[in-house]
Structure 1
């Protein structure tokens, strides 16, 4: 049996933590949860690990504020970015989230140059373009995941 896959989730908010939970519960690979807020990814990883005996899964869960633990990830899911506040348009998010996603992609590419990127950050269409350009990856390795596209 080969080595277990490694999946990194960047952003430990509601979307990222939920993704990490499902990845672990389905045993799709070991999960690394990254966030800039000190203690949040570590705490959420511990919470998820405590559900393992109840839900019956066995994966390694790591929470971190840095990118060292993400090295050699097979898949990286990027959920990081500002959430939209009431009255704020998705266009208002563009500049800030483009900066965030760009920096995340730079860190990931250094450590996992063969990974597949799944972008969830909004506005999704634009964030996929940011990730595609910053990573230099071929199109088939940068995927966007959403329900409704802003450009549709």
Structure 2
């Protein structure tokens, strides 16, 4: 049996937020449009059943808003082939796609967003890229210890 992995994915909530997942809890959402090679590589490491913190950025309440789960492993992001898409990549081909997507499904919306300031106060996250200055990755791996430390704070104010 494969061990479960843990992740954090960042998104602007007006593009794809926890409420989008909660609105259709049994309907998977395609997580596409990632155009950073390291983030893409992390997505390629995701497995069905992995848990993902959904982090809202570029909004009024920045931080972790809830949890989603991987239900389909990495596959070629269809937007890279669509010239009408903002995520079109003319260097991608069907034979050699450059970008991937994963499908995620709703698990839990937190009562309150766990703010970045609160996350920075969790000692277990001291080495996590999320709390390091200058981190801009949209996909970040979490250890099980980091995951549990954050998860334990979800109901605290």
TM over 0.5: no
Larger RCO of the pair (alpha carbons < 8 Å, separation 6+): 2
Q: TM-score, normalising length from structure 1?
A: 0.28
Q: TM-score, normalising length from structure 2?
A: 0.27
- Of Structure 1 and Structure 2, which has the larger fraction of its residues in strand? 2
- Of Structure 1 and Structure 2, which has the larger fraction of its residues in helix? 1
